[in-house]
Structure 1
């Protein structure tokens, strides 16, 4: 495939690799101070002492129990303070503290939680379970609240699980008499249902509902990660559930796939084109992200930790070498012909300098299937943050509420 559009950076080992000190000082400290990804909803004051401890104790491997354990005393302190605030009737303060504790747990269980793990044997799974618990304590106090709904996987087959857990948030004005548009958020490799507060705030602020669902091979998803067609069954079950909700206007449903979820947003734009008004593939893979040459260097790029073992397990492979050799032929949306079908409106967003998913994965789609839309950001990395977010919201407004007055982000 070389030369890649990423250019010389393709063969570069990024400076934060292998060192928690370098990761914190060169990559993570600034977004933590600004409370942006992956520290969105969080507070710098919660994280700075944790990372100083990790640095002092030379804990550099995020896959170890020692890494996760370093975060837990801060979680306990925030949780205790939140409980005291609730007892004192200070619900807003309690909600903020529970939210902050959930964010600390998010970083503690980075970079990946497998659906096959159990809390009693996996510290990251235990941290994720606790994150969900505290996050829902916070979100249940919001107006309107976020609620967890567990639905049957009506279209399950093969090795799919029986239930699909969702987070659902409805604007207060939604009713059977006032149906509202819906955004189906498809989460990513490391960001799950409790990691999308700001998006739900923005969506609710536009008068839309949101349903948040995890993608195959991650967190609580019941979809068989090794079956390329399991996402089709997953979205069919979710959309059929949505169609039964009296508040949802099923003529105005858009998907929004985030990072690894962008792959599924592209697929759904084809396989479920008659049920979706539009789909946003944000930082998406489609074909080249599974190329063995790309995978041979992706661990050296901008992702904070080693990526290929997580991707291998996410796609149902027990062996990284097997994944790198065979996944493209099995899962590529180009190789399998998925993107040669017609599609609903589909917007692709990414940074041109993405070292996690090559920008080629968005560009190749313009040569397949129906017309596509795209906006790519020069000089920006994976997801094209922050410039891509206003574009996503404006496009969704055009699709879901074309006659509404424009909102400012």
Structure 2
């Protein structure tokens, strides 16, 4: 326990009650965000989900890892895909129908996402994730500014790493143009000599993966930024890193940053890593290990040390995460069971106290690039203490903690992150 108490206070031991009840999860936690099409229902539509959850509640299907849970979503998802394909096939070339097809593919993408929630830990969920990516690609090929999938050689693969790194990249359609009124309005001006795009390296989380970032990539386009999206070790088969090796991400990001440097229209001088939730750990690590190759990094809702300590792990299944994190963490880090995870994970992976050579980049006092830490003070997934303790080590950090907000600090968090990234991007040009 940090300094004798947790910022969560009594909430640290409170059981939120929804982890084993689909009825409570829907009515108490998910129905409202679903109605607003926000995480984890972004790209989605409420009318697609309500009948599915009515069915799950009626049939008392509470375990998300069962095929019963996953299968409940698939007819709706496939029906949306069929509608979109029909529009494309029967009325090609009509702008109205193109937009409707895009929307239908996005809605299907959201349904597939919740079907394979919270972790791709069963054969059926693996199949659903592959289908999600396939359908997402059908949709993004219709966009005005589509995503491209690139397969990058993992040049530095070692110790059981795979050979290839699948990435999504979305770039502005033309070379960035300066604002016509002579002001940047917070956005990045073009470099007329190089015509290269600044890059946001988006590092995904435990349940959010490459097809789950439509709005973020669009927000980056409005700022003339390219987005490169990668998955993190231990979550999907798309990340080639050895999940048991705490140094594997260093090799992964060296290969990715080399790809950026070798791509003519990407600006290797202006790269910001933005790590989301479990991805925040990797953004923070990257900010230290590759500080000379990054302009900045954002650890957003990040864990660094306490989140994988036994005291926190004993309680985390009671907190706000929809289905508990125990099974997902065991699989992500490659342990035999939850007891082994509690016993070993902090010693092996903590950025502060990890015992392996090169692991505790924070605890050893390494300097970092500019590093912003953002989270809600009442985060029950990644304790706010994991962000705050970075102030005790190394170079100066920048922090914004949203009082009374839960994991990730929404809804205010993006209003902190985007102005910060805009400022950091401008700093190269000034």
The answer for the alignment partner of 1:218 in structure 2 is: 235
Q: Please point out which of 317, 320, 323 is paired with 2:335.
A: 317
| 1:206 aligned counterpart, secondary structure | coil
Kept after mapping to 1: 8 A contact 2:18/2:323 = no
Q: Does 1:154 align with 2:164?
A: no
| 1:401 aligned counterpart, secondary structure | helix
The answer for the alignment partner of 2:251 in structure 1 is: 233
* Structure 1 stretches lacking a partner, 5+ long: 405-409
Hey, what's the Cα distance between the residues in 2 that align with 1:244 and 1:137? 28
Q: Please point out which of 41, 59, 71 is paired with 1:57.
A: 59
The answer for the alignment partner of 1:407 in structure 2 is: none
Hey, what's the Cα distance between the residues in 1 that align with 2:391 and 2:15? 31
Give 1:174 deviation, angstroms. Answer: 3.1
Hey, what's the Cα distance between the residues in 2 that align with 1:204 and 1:31? 25
Q: Please point out which of 352, 355, 361 is paired with 1:338.
A: 361
Q: Does 1:36 align with 2:10?
A: no
The answer for the alignment partner of 2:107 in structure 1 is: 100
Q: Please point out which of 203, 222, 247 is paired with 2:220.
A: 203
Give 1:402 deviation, angstroms. Answer: 4.8
Residues 265-312 of structure 1: CA distance to partner in whole angstroms, max 9, x if unpaired? Answer: 100000000000000000000000011010000000000002112112
Q: Does 1:291 align with 2:309?
A: yes
Q: Please point out which of 387, 391, 406 is paired with 1:362.
A: 387
Kept after mapping to 1: 8 A contact 2:241/2:252 = yes
Hey, what's the Cα distance between the residues in 2 that align with 1:62 and 1:306? 10
Q: Does 1:382 align with 2:407?
A: yes
Instruction: Show the 5 A alignment for 1:56-95.
Output: 56-87=58-89, 88-89=91-92, 90-95=97-102
Give 1:180 deviation, angstroms. Answer: 1.2
Hey, what's the Cα distance between the residues in 2 that align with 1:264 and 1:66? 34
The answer for the alignment partner of 1:112 in structure 2 is: 119
Hey, what's the Cα distance between the residues in 2 that align with 1:199 and 1:76? 25
Residues 84-112 of structure 1: CA distance to partner in whole angstroms, max 9, x if unpaired? Answer: 11111222211111111011000000001
Give 1:322 deviation, angstroms. Answer: 0.6
The answer for the alignment partner of 2:180 in structure 1 is: none
* Structure 2 stretches lacking a partner, 5+ long: 177-192, 355-359
Scaled by the length of structure 2, the TM-score of the pair is 0.91
Give 1:403 deviation, angstroms. Answer: 8.9
Hey, what's the Cα distance between the residues in 2 that align with 1:285 and 1:174? 37
| 2:292 aligned counterpart, secondary structure | coil
The answer for the alignment partner of 1:305 in structure 2 is: 323
Give 1:173 deviation, angstroms. Answer: 1.8
| 2:317 aligned counterpart, secondary structure | helix
Give 1:172 deviation, angstroms. Answer: 1.1
The answer for the alignment partner of 1:174 in structure 2 is: 175
Give 1:177 deviation, angstroms. Answer: 4.0
Aligned length: 398
Hey, what's the Cα distance between the residues in 2 that align with 1:38 and 1:314? 20
Hey, what's the Cα distance between the residues in 2 that align with 1:20 and 1:308? 17
Hey, what's the Cα distance between the residues in 2 that align with 1:139 and 1:269? 31
Residues 110-139 of structure 1: CA distance to partner in whole angstroms, max 9, x if unpaired? Answer: 00125xx7xxxx010011000000011111
Moved more, 96-105 or 312-321: 312-321
Q: Does 1:184 align with 2:186?
A: no
The CA RMSD measured in Å over matched residues stands at 1.3
Moved more, 170-179 or 224-233: 170-179
Residues 316-340 of structure 1: CA distance to partner in whole angstroms, max 9, x if unpaired? Answer: 2122111111100110000133012
Instruction: Show the 5 A alignment for 1:233-252.
Output: 233-252=251-270
Q: Does 1:399 align with 2:424?
A: yes
